[in-house]
Amino acid sequence: MHAPTKFALGLLAAAAVATASDVIQLKKDTFDDFVKTNDIVLAEFFAPWCGHCKALAPEYEEAATTLKEKNIKLAKIDCTEESELCQQHGVEGYPTLKVFRGLDTVSPYKGQRKAGAITSYMIKQSLPSVSVLTKDNIEEFKKADKVVIVAYFDATDKAANETFSKVADKLRDEYPFGASSDVALAEAEGVTAPAIVLYKDFDEGKAVFTEKFDAEAIEKFAKTASTPLIGEVGPDTYAGYMSAGIPLAYIFAETPEERKELSEALKPIAESQRGVINFATIDAKAFGAHAGNLNLKTDKFPAFAIQETTKNQKFPFDQEKEITVESIQKFVDDFVGGKVEPSIKSEPIPETQEGPVTVVVAKSYNDIVLDDTKDVLIEFYAPWCGHCKALAPKYDELATLYANSEFKDKVVIAKVDATLNDVPDEIQGFPTIKLYAAGAKDKPVEYSGSRTVEDLIKFISENGKYKAAPSDEAEESVAASAESGSSTETGTVEEPAKETSHDEL
């Protein structure tokens, strides 16, 4: 009699332990309040089927328990249930981890996904983001990193202090921030408070901000002043250049000597375009393949090209011409004046369409994808992408279903090899699938569901103009294929940068 009771109690206790979690699960109606009422929250956006999320779960639990006493909260959001909330926070893959300091100051979690790493990262994040500086520590602070940012303001200037702290909270992972209210220090620096000085170990050594303290203006200053006049494109800097919001001019050369020589020569041009075009050298030996992405030949260096980063347009400088100060000056001037046409890479337009899926190339993109009379589902793929290969038979089946249905003239199932064709879409990963609905070509809808025929049909019928879902007969065949075990764990994408040396960037 006793033994089973004890056993049952034991089970109950175990169950209680298993469910008592220090990770708070948030939903649409609890998220905002929770984030607002806690100073600092780490939030994990996950999906129950995602393998990396499962691996993270015990680590995350452990960190939550350790951090509880420091009043640092760990939360999780199930994106399969809270899709709106996840979309609102720009979640594109799982797991996505973000640090929230209120709703406005959000930064991606950049640490490892281990309990110890999460714990120490979050403790660091919870410390003040601005070091208070005095005459005893300021000189050392100035040399703490390649770029450091120091504000000088009056001890009573609460507004300046707050604005600066807000920027520091946001950019704390990028630069060390310091502040001083010592008038003598500001004087020694030759500035009048309130002012900000950005110290850098390159170019002119420092830059001064004397405008009104405004978070956005300070952020812009930090970004611009910390970017070297002629920097170097490499794995650490590539993403920054791509997100800078202005074009990037590449100077490709094979040796350090050549890069130095060319950047010295082109410096005046870079100077005159500061804030308009970023200039950077790139090691053509290591990253020569990236020249191909800019529609340059990959075997003829030095070379020069401009990339319009927001529209992803490429402007290669004619490799038959010599790179001189004069020739580049003219090219850059013409570019700024809108006189250079972007170069568009395209496969030839296929003479006939062989398979059920319509093959699109850059030259036929507008005619097919932007055909305003049709709902066009287009897959952007790369030949090397495994997820794309896994999708191919299902995608063929989808195309066949529509081709054999009453919607054959209204719905187009298409694909484009995005490594061989320049497309206007910004592609974050492969495959990317979008629906360009008839009558709404300016508002394509990106597909984020599981990659099954059934769900794709649902997506097309919900978002397309014609609400097109192939008839019952077609659906039966879909059901059959779903039963034959097509996996739904396909929400992940592969980075565009997997194969060429582009990925080293």
Is 24 strand, coil or helix?
Answer: strand
CA distances from 326 to 308, 333, 458 (A): 22, 10, 57
- CA-to-CA distance for 246 and 470, rounded, in angstroms? 45
- CA-to-CA distance for 349 and 34, rounded, in angstroms? 54
Taking the complex as a whole, the smallest distance from the CB of residue 39 to ligand NAG amounts, in Å, to 14
Counting residues that bind ligand NAG (by CB under 6 A) gives 6
Candidate segments 178-186, 252-260, 279-287, 292-300, binder of ligand NAG by CB under 6 A: 178-186
Q: What number of other Cβ atoms are within 10 A of residue 93's Cβ? A: 16
- CA-to-CA distance for 457 and 438, rounded, in angstroms? 16
Is 329 strand, coil or helix?
Answer: helix
Q: Which is nearer to ligand NAG, 132 or 479 (CB)?
A: 132
Is position 155 an interface residue for ligand NAG (rule: CB under 6 A)?
yes
Q: Which is nearer to ligand NAG, 179 or 457 (CB)?
A: 179
Residue 385 is among the residues annotated as catalytic for this protein: yes
CA distances from 449 to 15, 78, 393 (A): 33, 14, 17
* Strand order across the beta sheet in which 358-359 lies: 358-359, 411-417, 375-381, 432-436, 445-446
Binding mask 184-203 for ligand NAG (x = CB under 6 A): --------------------
Question: Do the Cβ atoms of 296 and 305 come closer than 8 Å?
Answer: yes
Is position 161 an interface residue for ligand NAG (rule: CB under 6 A)?
yes
Of the residues 41, 79, 167, 179, which one makes contact with ligand NAG according to CB under 6 A = 179
Residue 86 is among the residues annotated as catalytic for this protein: no
Taking the complex as a whole, the smallest distance from the CB of residue 152 to ligand NAG amounts, in Å, to 8
Of 26, 42, 50, 505, which residue is the catalytic one?
50
Q: Which is nearer to ligand NAG, 176 or 444 (CB)?
A: 176
Candidate segments 137-145, 174-182, 190-198, 245-253, binder of ligand NAG by CB under 6 A: 174-182
Of 86, 147, 385, 401, which residue is the catalytic one?
385
CA distances from 496 to 79, 254, 385, 431, 493 (A): 24, 25, 9, 9, 9
Candidate segments 179-187, 377-385, 421-429, 451-459, binder of ligand NAG by CB under 6 A: 179-187
Q: Which is nearer to ligand NAG, 129 or 281 (CB)?
A: 129
- CA-to-CA distance for 289 and 333, rounded, in angstroms? 27
Is position 125 an interface residue for ligand NAG (rule: CB under 6 A)?
no
Is position 129 an interface residue for ligand NAG (rule: CB under 6 A)?
no
Q: Which is nearer to ligand NAG, 27 or 158 (CB)?
A: 158
Q: Is 483 exposed, middle or buried (0-12, 13-18, 19+ CB in 10 A)?
A: exposed
Sequence-distant (6+) residues with CB within 8 A of 22 are 61, 64, 65, 68, 74
Taking the complex as a whole, the smallest distance from the CB of residue 183 to ligand NAG amounts, in Å, to 12
Q: Which two tokens stand for residue 170?
A: 């946001």
Of the residues 8, 132, 159, 276, which one makes contact with ligand NAG according to CB under 6 A = 132
Taking the complex as a whole, the smallest distance from the CB of residue 167 to ligand NAG amounts, in Å, to 13
Q: Which is nearer to ligand NAG, 178 or 470 (CB)?
A: 178
Residue 82 has φ and ψ, to the nearest 5°, of: -120, 55
Residue 53 is among the residues annotated as catalytic for this protein: yes
* Site of tokens 């305003």: 372
* 45-84 residues near ligand NAG, rule: CB under 6 A: none
Of 277, 388, 411, 457, which residue is the catalytic one?
388
Q: Which element (helix H / strand E) includes 313?
A: strand 313-316
Question: Do the Cβ atoms of 336 and 323 come closer than 8 Å?
Answer: no
* 210-229 residues near ligand NAG, rule: CB under 6 A: none
Candidate segments 6-14, 176-184, 402-410, 420-428, binder of ligand NAG by CB under 6 A: 176-184
Q: Which is nearer to ligand NAG, 181 or 298 (CB)?
A: 181
Is position 40 an interface residue for ligand NAG (rule: CB under 6 A)?
no
Taking the complex as a whole, the smallest distance from the CB of residue 127 to ligand NAG amounts, in Å, to 12
Of 53, 79, 303, 493, which residue is the catalytic one?
53
Candidate segments 173-181, 280-288, 313-321, 485-493, binder of ligand NAG by CB under 6 A: 173-181
Per-residue burial over 56-70, b = 16 or more CB atoms within 10 Å of its CB, e = otherwise: bbebbbbbbbbbeee
Of the residues 66, 180, 313, 432, which one makes contact with ligand NAG according to CB under 6 A = 180
Sequence-distant (6+) residues with CB within 8 A of 97 are 42, 43, 44, 45, 108, 109, 113
Is position 131 an interface residue for ligand NAG (rule: CB under 6 A)?
no
Of the residues 181, 226, 263, 500, which one makes contact with ligand NAG according to CB under 6 A = 181
Taking the complex as a whole, the smallest distance from the CB of residue 132 to ligand NAG amounts, in Å, to 5
User: What one-letter code names the amino acid at 280?
Assistant: A
Taking the complex as a whole, the smallest distance from the CB of residue 178 to ligand NAG amounts, in Å, to 8
Euclidean distance between the first and the last CA atom of the chain, given in angstroms as a whole number: 68
Q: Return the active site residues.
A: 50, 53, 385, 388
Give me the residues that bind ligand NAG (CB under 6 A), please.
Answer: 132, 155, 161, 179-181
